[in-house]
Structure 1
Amino acid sequence: MTTERREPAQNADERTMLEGWLDYHRQTLAWKCEGLTDEQLRATAAEPSELSLLGLVRHMAEVERNWFRKVLVGDDPGHIYDSEHDEDSDFHTTEADTWAEAYATWQAEIAVARRNAADFGLDDLSKGRSRFSEAPFNLRWIYTHMIEEYARHNGHADLLRERIDGATGD
């Protein structure tokens, strides 16, 4: 698999720009994971952290599901990895957890996110609520938050990838 990262348009309308940056950051996380084995993807940063590239992908699948299903459209299909006993189980990988499963799940959540967002204008308010606020969010806020979430975790991915095999890059 070769991840193609497309730079967002420099003179697009607001929605195209927001979607372009979100896709760019999604592609960046996939690129940071490219070419590694499941074992390498499960490698953690440094004690006591349990942060791994595979955990980041699983976490972003949960984040996509939360914001574009639960918050935006008011659908609550439940968690993928997290549970009431372990809210961070997306980060807690085991030898049974694979890139193939995590990547397929993440991509499926991205596809649902795109479909759900297509039905909303940037100023349209969410139908569901977040655990952080009872007030609704507009789609613009959700896009901006998702870009921030990916950008922060892509910084983590940079450090994790460099620790694994020395690979660096923007």
Structure 2
Amino acid sequence: MTIERIDPSTLAGERESLESWLDFHRATLALKTEGLDEAQLRTASVSPSDLTLFGLVRHMAEVERGWFRRVLAGEDAGPIYYTEEDRDRDFHPGPDDTFEEAYATWQAEIARARELAAGRKLDEIGVGAHRSGERFNLRWIYVHMIEEYARHNGHADLIRQAVDGATGD
């Protein structure tokens, strides 16, 4: 699998900028996982953190699902990995969980997010509500998703460097 990461245009309008920066960060996380085996994907960077690339991919599948399916579209889309008993289960894959499944699920959630956002105006308020009860427009969701990926891509940089010494943006 070859991951294509395209630099966002420096001359784009607002929507194209938001969408291209979100796609850039999605591709960045994918690149951080490229070429690693299952054991490496389960490796945390430094103790006491148990954060792994595998867990980050599962988490971002949940984040995509939550903001686009539940908040934007109002879909009754339950959690993929976490439970009410373990709200952080997305970060903690079990021994029978596979990265292949997690990656495919993440990509499917990204595809669904793109479908749900297509044709909506940036000012359009989502049909659903966040678990806080607040409602958000698509612009806010895009900005939040860029922030979420950017923060976790920083984590991914450190994890990847601890796993095999690879660095880069």
Q: TM-score, normalised by structure 2?
A: 0.97
Structure 2 gaps, min length 5 = none
How much is the aligned-residue C-alpha RMSD, in angstroms?
0.9
Once the two structures are superposed, the pairs formed by residues 91-170 of structure 1 within 5 Å of their partners are 91-132=91-132, 134-170=133-169
Equivalent position SS for 2:57: helix
Following the alignment from structure 1 to structure 2, what is the Cα–Cα distance between the partners of residues 47 and 9?
Answer: 39
Partner amino acid, structure 1, of 2:158:
L
1:85 paired to 2:100: no
Moved over 4 A (4+): none
Mapped contact 1:69–1:116 kept (Cα < 8 A)? yes
CA distance in 2, matches of 1:88, 1:136: 23
- Per the alignment, residue 30 of structure 1 pairs with 30
CA contact (8 A) 1:39 1:95 kept: no
The separation in 2 between residues aligned to 1:50 and 1:167, in whole angstroms, is: 19
Identity %: 63
Deviations 1:56-102 (A, max 9, x none): 00000000000000000111210000001100000012232222101
1:136 is displaced (CA, Å) by 1.6
| TM-score, length basis structure 1 | 0.96
Count of residue pairs brought into register by the alignment: 169
Please list every run of 5 or more consecutive structure 1 residues that lacks an aligned counterpart in the other structure.
none
Shift of 1:141: 0.3
CA distance in 2 between partners of 1:47 and 1:78 (Å): 32
Q: Distance in 1 between matches of 2:66 and 2:2?
A: 28
Name the SS of the counterpart of 1:90 in structure 2. Answer: helix
Q: Which range is displaced more, 142-151 or 123-132? A: 123-132
**Offset at residue 48 of structure 1 (A):** 2.5
Letter of the structure 1 residue corresponding to residue 13 of structure 2: D
